[in-house]
């Protein structure tokens, strides 16, 4: 068990708080039940979400680590708190899609649910004031947000994360439609997966019924939000419907 102590709040985001710790190389991330959508215009709470996202993100990051993806994860400290390596966040939202949904469907005028032969990868500039605009590699380089070498690493890691997560969830009766990742730089310049992987940041559809089991239920006022998060937590710990470990 860690002996690191929580110090002052250094940043409060929409869904998480970040605290300094007695270890200058680490932070504590504390997951909240708060939820926002539509660029922060829609606000609410999803009871129990913080604990679920903390647990789920940590279990998924541990699985990714075991499969060669470096992450910021150090240790889960409590129901809502996790010790992570302090990183400088690369200001890019990296979105991988296996199937049309959300902004992709809107932007290109196609229905949701078109399965792609190959995953797509898109980048958005992580900047709330500008509403996280879409950009391409050359834009990201021109803006000095990242380097060619980092982009190459980010692309390779994002696609590896997709392959691993897609397979992981398939075994649990869930189709991974799309998701958003964020990456960070360690003091030595190396790139690690940061932020979270949860129903806030992924679209999950039941493989058989295509029922939505993610934050779209909140974004679209569909009801059953808490139940969907709970269901995903149950599936996480019970591969093949709990028939075998
Ligand atoms: P999009 O279809 O709205 O672009 O979303 C793609 C994926 O990214 C989806 O799984 C939800 C996730 N996402 C975030 O995690 N944060 C965001 O701010 C947005 C817009 C999407
Ligand atoms: N979290 C984002 C916001 O507050 C968007 C989203 O997840 O839909 O606007």
Is the separation of the CB atoms in 10 and 19 below 8 Å?
yes
Give per-residue pLDDT as tens, 224-233. Answer: 999 999 999 9
Report the Cα 24 to chain-centroid distance in Å: 25
- pTM for the predicted model, two decimal places: 0.96
Q: How far apart are CA 87 and CA 105, in angstroms?
A: 33
Q: Which residues line ligand 2 (CB under 6 A)?
A: 14, 36-40, 215, 219
What pLDDT does 40 receive?
87
Which atom from ligand 2 is nearest to the alpha carbon of 36? 4
Is the separation of the CB atoms in 76 and 4 below 8 Å?
no
Q: How far apart are CA 22 and CA 137, in angstroms?
A: 37
CA of 93 to the centre of ligand 2 (A): 12
Which atom from ligand 2 is nearest to the alpha carbon of 200? 7
What pLDDT does 245 receive?
41
What pLDDT does 127 receive?
97
Per-residue tens of pLDDT for the chain, all 245 residues:
688 999 999 999 999 999 999 999 999 999 999 999 988 899 999 999 999 999 999 999 999 999 999 999 999 999 999 999 999 999 999 999 999 999 999 999 999 999 999 999 999 999 999 999 999 999 999 999 999 999 999 999 999 999 999 999 999 999 999 999 999 999 999 999 999 999 999 999 999 999 999 999 999 999 999 999 999 999 999 887 655 44
The two three-digit tokens of residue 52, written as one number: 């679920």
Is the beta carbon of 104 within 6 A of some atom in ligand 1?
yes
CA of 179 to the centre of ligand 1 (A): 6
| pLDDT, averaged across the chain | 96
Tell me which residue of 234, 242, 136, 124 sits closest to 178, measured CA to CA: 124
Atom 4 of ligand 1, residue of closest alpha carbon: 103
Is the beta carbon of 6 within 6 A of some atom in ligand 1?
no
Q: How far apart are CA 104 and CA 121, in angstroms?
A: 11
Which atom from ligand 2 is nearest to the alpha carbon of 201? 7
The CA–CA distances, whole Å, from 133 to 47, 94, 105, 108, 223 equal 30, 12, 16, 16, 29
Is the beta carbon of 178 within 6 A of some atom in ligand 1?
yes
């Amino acid at each position: 068990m860690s002996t690191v102590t929580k110090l002052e709040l250094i940043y409060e985001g929409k869904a998480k708080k970040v605290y300094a710790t007695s270890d200058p190389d680490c932070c504590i991330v504390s997951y909240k039940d708060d939820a926002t959508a539509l660029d922060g215009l829609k606000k609410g709470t999803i009871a129990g979400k913080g604990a679920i996202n903390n647990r789920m993100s940590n279990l998924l990051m541990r699985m990714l680590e075991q499969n060669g993806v470096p992450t910021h994860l150090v240790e889960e400290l409590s129901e809502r708190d996790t010790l992570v390596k302090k990183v400088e966040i690369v200001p890019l939202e990296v979105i991988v899609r296996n199937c049309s949904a959300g902004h992709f469907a809107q932007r290109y005028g196609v229905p949701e649910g078109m399965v792609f032969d190959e995953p797509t990868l898109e980048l958005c500039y992580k900047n709330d004031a500008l509403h996280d605009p879409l950009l391409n590699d050359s834009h990201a380089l021109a803006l000095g947000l990242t380097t060619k070498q980092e982009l190459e690493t980010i692309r390779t890691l994002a696609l590896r994360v997709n392959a691993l997560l897609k397979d992981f969830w398939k075994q649990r009766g869930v189709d991974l439609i799309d998701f958003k990742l964020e990456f960070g730089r360690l003091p030595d310049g190396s790139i690690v997966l940061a932020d979270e992987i949860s129903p806030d940041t992924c679209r999950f559809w039941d493989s058989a019924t295509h029922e939505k089991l993610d934050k779209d239920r909140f974004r679209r006022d569909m009801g059953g939000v808490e139940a969907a998060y709970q269901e995903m937590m149950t599936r996480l710990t019970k591969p093949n419907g709990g028939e075998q470990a």
